[in-house]
Each structure stands twice: as structure tokens, then as C-alpha cells.
Amino acid sequence: MRAMGNRENMSDNITPATTPAPRENAEKDTSQWVTGHEPMTGPQRSYLQTLAQEAGAEVPEDATKAQASELIDDLQQRTGRGA
């Protein structure tokens, strides 16, 4: 049994901090999305409506998740909300 004050081999019991994954492939191309063909989500629709109103654009009711994401990117740039 090791004494509580003994620091020998203490590093063996330390779990390294989790580091975030590299950002080089942080975003997948929308054509590669497994669920990209599904209808856009409620939050996508809501945000798109806000952006579209500011940009004077229309939101297609039947947009897919992938299409909505691309439209959000476009409208963010047009409205100045893009990062």
C-alpha cells in the first residue's frame, strides 16, 4: 500500500485532459450529410425566416436540411450575420 504523501508514480494515475479535435475538417460538405435529404428542422426554418425577412428573400417550404444549411450560410453573408 502506498502512503498518501508519496508522490512517486502519481503521474500514472492522472488522466490527461481531453483536447478538442482539430478544426481542419470541422464542417462536412452538405452533400456528405447522412440526413441531408430530410426536411429542414424547426430551428432551421425559424432562423431562415428571420434571415430571409432581413434579406428580402423567400424560404422554400420543402427545403431539405442540407439546402437549409446552405441557404443559411448564404443569407448570413448577405445580411452581415455571418461569422
In this model, does residue 61 exceed pLDDT 80? yes
Average pLDDT, stretch 59-78? Answer: 95
Q: Are 55 and 79 in contact (CB under 8 A)?
A: yes
Tell me, what's the pLDDT at 49? Answer: 96
Q: Exposure string (b/e) for 45-74, b if CB count within 10 Å is 16 or more?
A: eebbeebbeebeeebeeebbbbbbbebbee
Tell me, what's the pLDDT at 18? Answer: 63
List, for residues 1-59, the tens digit of each pLDDT value: 555 555 555 555 555 566 555 555 457 888 888 999 999 999 999 999 999 999 999 99
Domain-wise residue ranges, the chain: 38-79
Tell me if residue 72 falls in helix, strand or coil.
Answer: helix
In this model, does residue 64 exceed pLDDT 60? yes
Q: Are 68 and 32 in contact (CB under 8 A)?
A: no
CB count within 10 Å of CB 44 equals 19
